[in-house]
Structure 1
Amino acid sequence: MSSTLSLASTVKLSDGNVVPVLGLGVYKNEDPIPACLAALKHGYRHIDSARMYENEAPVGKAVKESGVPREQVFVTSKIYHPEHGYDSTLKAVQDSLNKFGFDYLDLYLIHSPLSGKAKRLETYKALLQAKKEGKLKSVGVSNYSPKHIEEIRAAGLELPAVNQIELHPFCQQKPIVEYCRANNILVQAYTPLVRGKLDDPVITSTASKYGKTPAQIAIRWSLQRGFIPLPKSANPERVVANAQVFDFEIAEEDMKKLDALDEGKAGAVTWNPVDAE
């Protein structure tokens, strides 16, 4: 991925829709309006929310207040596993739309595979129905392993456009990434800032070399590896700084040093339920 990439760059999904290459995560942000407004003011066009975050309404309010046309902002939400099931999913999608105050959502994900095979598939079928009705532009999954996605294929359903997983230098989820790439499923990276492990000497020395912050190095690594990072921050200044990653490129020799930090699943810093039955 070249240094010609910008905050306005997009990637085409398998369904033909496009998604901006960098998004703002709003997990654990009870009042995401300041962060969302700062993001949209400074060029972000992608916000990642979820029903579990309980902030769909303020995110919707921020998009409206920003003055950026709705169709220019890519907004994601996710259905949490206690709500899985066909009818409950259709109700959840409508409830999300009501909370955001939107006619549609750009992307809706199954938040995790924790409800079991039968419920997962019913939930996915309901999301495809909501897509057919025009309520969702794209449908995807989160925390899914190849096994979970193969269930979708075996059911004769179209594969998800996106799989959102924990992804950073310490937890690179290589088998999942390779599978998704082979099947034209875009990989989004949540927790790209690793929650407290950015003081690793490899990351800090790379940051010094390029005159960037450790967070900017982690985000740039994700971009150069072809992922869509979703850094979260409630701090408007950090939100802006997290997008200042398009004026440099990490050399391949330094990328390899960052790649070497991979600890496999042991490097995960969140729930990472990719092995759910």
Structure 2
Amino acid sequence: MNPMTTAWAAALAAATMLLAACASAPPSPTARETEVPVRIERFDKEFELARGVTRVAIDNPWGEINIRSRDEREVGIHAVVQRLPPGFAPATMRSHRDGATLHIDVTMDGATPGALPLQGRIDIAVYLPGDLVLALHTRDGRISAKRRAAAVEASSKSGALLISSRGRLDLHSDSGPIRAVAIGARWDGRSEITSDSGRIVLMVPTFGDIALEATTNGRLTNDFGLSVTPDRGGASHAAARYGQGLSPLTIRSRTGEIVLEQLVLMGEDKGDQNDDD
């Protein structure tokens, strides 16, 4: 692998401070009979982006995924690992390529996510170019990917999703909250943001070519005058067409609240309104 640049080293230091907050504080000396000998480790891993790779899929069922942008055509990962007894399972990362997609799987050897007793946690910061399509999955961990240029797919059972992109969004969390920003004026394909019971807050680019549709059996509100009506089944429903309506944007929740907010771009983001396909 290429040696780390100064910027990459600085980013790793920042990531260490960010992810170290996820590590459990050591028990009080007065509670030694209940002490758990947690082993905390940190390591870095880099993956080459071969020619033709346009999508990166990351599966981390052990903790958080935090996406950061970098200029180098590589995927750099900084991991904070908490290893728990009795197995103290070591963390590993495995990769393989499938067509245009580079798959990266985070694992703890010999352990099963969600099984009791818990055997560890792995939180990762991922550094990669902003023009790559992302497919991110956790079990219960948070996923954060902001100001992306390409499509973002993200799913978590109970973890929060914090996503913003000019590209297509495909986001799902069973019970965790979702806060998303559709920055672009248009995108290819359908954007879908769904939950079972989790609260969804979406900033809508009403300046774009958007076909908006939102439905939930929970509460549905907005701050830009969109009419909300009940359907025959008692669910709240709202729909609107902006511009040419070429980019579908669907928001659905079974029982969770949906909050729609109007996106107002400021500063350098105003250029997004004039992007051409």
Structure number with bigger Rg: 2
Q: Same fold (TM over 0.5)?
A: no
Q: TM-score, normalized by length of structure 2?
A: 0.24
Q: Which has the higher helix share?
A: 1
Which protein, 1 or 2, shows the higher relative CO under an 8 Å CA cutoff with sep ≥ 6?
Answer: 1
Q: Which has the higher strand share?
A: 2
